[in-house]
Amino acid sequence: MNIFGGGTLGPNFDCSGLIQTAFFKHHIHIPRDSYQIKSFCKHLFSLKEFNRKLEPGDLLFFGNKQQCDHIGIYKGDGLYYHSSGKEFGRNGIGLDTLKETNHPISLHYQSKLISAGKVIRGYRWDRTIR
């Protein structure tokens, strides 16, 4: 029986489902939605402080000033994996860059990067976080 909802089964992952599943494969539970994961992570930096070196496995949060609505996982060398839709993405899992580029998908997400975080503990899905 699958304990996860829609968007967490390949090949039809949504962005947070991809990240949640990747961590679950390593027996680490994290919250379901990108904004919840952002609140759960240790904050590394915001866009204005983007001078810290990212490490593989760090999470990238995208959105606007009001809310995080997209998430990716850093691979290294300026690259990150994420799952995006048809309108602003690859219609599935893709690899994009934080480096200077002319690629429209990477440029779109670069413009929406708001912060990064690191998972430092497992989420207790059977408890309410207060």
Can you give the pTM of this predicted structure? 0.84
Distance CA 55, CA 78 (A): 10
Q: Which of 62, 103, 52, 55 is nearest to 82 (CA)?
A: 62
Q: Which fold has domain 15-118?
A: endopeptidase fold (from Nostoc punctiforme) (3.90.1720)
Number of H helices, E strands in the chain: 3, 6
Q: What's the pLDDT score for residue 1?
A: 32
Q: What are the residue ranges in the chain where pLDDT is below 50?
A: 1-5, 128-130
Quote the radius of gyration of the chain (alpha carbons, Å): 14
Is residue 59 within 8 Å of residue 74, measured between CB atoms? yes
Strand (E) or helix (H) holding 29: none
87: buried, middle or exposed (CB in 10 Å: 19+, 13-18, 0-12)? exposed
